[in-house]
Amino acid sequence: MKIDQLFSVAGKRIVVTGGSRGIGEMIARALVDNGAEVIITSRKASDCEALAAALGPACVAIPADLSQMAEIERFAAAVAARFPRLDVLFNNAGASWGAGIDEFPEVGWDKVMDLNVKSVFFLTQKLLPQLEAAASAAAPAKVINIGSIDGQHVSDLETYSYAASKAGVLHLTRMMAKFLGTRHITANAIAPGFFPSKMTAGIAEEFREAFRAATPLQRWGNPDDMAGVALFLASRASAFMTGAVVTVDGGYATTV
């Protein structure tokens, strides 16, 4: 029960989608800093490759647009070629779209749903052979889906497809947990609150300040907050957890 063994990710082979910035970058940095081998992907190749170069040889960039099925298949094949055994899959890639209900466009619905929900299911499906190859009853492989508190409560923002997609991700996680458990694969989710990122930068300053002021801990999330949860869920310490949602929001979703 040594902490350096129980919470270790050293030597684990891990994929982080949407890993070039924001929460994905926070997770990727924490994993590499603690000895994991990590593949990151994002749609923008230059961002993906720049972060991999900064993190060193333990991090490899394989850019892909996971909103497209052909790209999911190409990326999964590239992962399988490099990692025949995959210990952990972080399904983090996501997008948002904001518009009033009267003018919300179909493109804003489909873009968000395809990346935030469809890609989570089908990338997991395509990587099941690699996850099963790494899995055992004592040390299950892990699927960790990044949801949002917007899938748990009603947001003040008119981001209809985003909120619906994140609620879908959280329930999809429970479905995965039920049907992958006998294959020694766990499925859990993280529901972040407000973490500064390129996505949240699009929210008006008045709303960002209102979120911070209404949060019981009176601040936004930072990289350490996400790193701690990600390392716990990726390590042996969470081996008997599946179907769980870990909310990391300073108390916002349950008090506002």
C-alpha radius of gyration, the chain, whole number? 17
Q: Indicate if the pLDDT at residue 45 is higher than 90.
A: yes
Q: 135-173: b or e for each residue (b if 16 or more CB lie within 10 Å)?
A: beeeebbbbbbbbbbbbbbebeeebbbbbbbbbbbbebb
Tokens of 222: 């930072």
Q: Extract the runs of DSSP E, i.e. beta strands, from the chain.
A: 13-17, 37-41, 59-61, 88-91, 141-146, 185-192, 245-248
The angle formed by the CA atoms of residues 47, 197 and 170, to the nearest 5 degrees, is 100
pLDDT bucket at 204, cuts 50 / 70 / 90: low
Dump pLDDT digits (tens) for 95-146. Answer: 999 999 999 999 999 999 999 999 999 999 999 999 999 999 999 999 999 9
Note the pTM of the prediction, 2 decimals: 0.95
For position 206, what pLDDT does the model report?
Answer: 72
Count how many domains the chain has: 1
Q: Is 142 helix (H, G, I), strand (E, B) or coil?
A: strand
Q: Indicate if the pLDDT at residue 202 is higher than 80.
A: no
Q: Indicate if the pLDDT at residue 203 is higher than 80.
A: no
Q: What is the mean pLDDT of residues 141-157?
A: 95
Dump pLDDT digits (tens) for 206-255. Answer: 777 888 899 999 999 999 999 999 999 999 999 999 999 999 999 999 99
For position 211, what pLDDT does the model report?
Answer: 84
Residue type, 59: C
- Edge-to-edge order in the sheet of strand 185-192: 59-61, 37-41, 13-17, 88-91, 141-146, 185-192, 245-248
- For 197, list phi and psi in degrees, rounded to 5: -160, 175
Q: Is 34 helix (H, G, I), strand (E, B) or coil?
A: coil
Tokens of 44: 């923008």
pLDDT bucket at 198, cuts 50 / 70 / 90: low
**Nearest CA among 64, 52, 58 for reference residue 25:** 52
User: Active-site residue 162, yes or no?
Assistant: yes
Going from the C-alpha of 162 to that of each of 96, 220, 236, the distances in angstroms are 5, 20, 32
For position 161, which CATH number holds?
3.40.50.720
Domain encompassing residue 181: 3-255
For position 141, what pLDDT does the model report?
Answer: 98
For position 156, what pLDDT does the model report?
Answer: 87
Options 83, 90, 160, 162, the catalytic residue: 162
Dump pLDDT digits (tens) for 48-89. Answer: 999 999 999 999 999 999 999 999 999 999 999 999 999 999
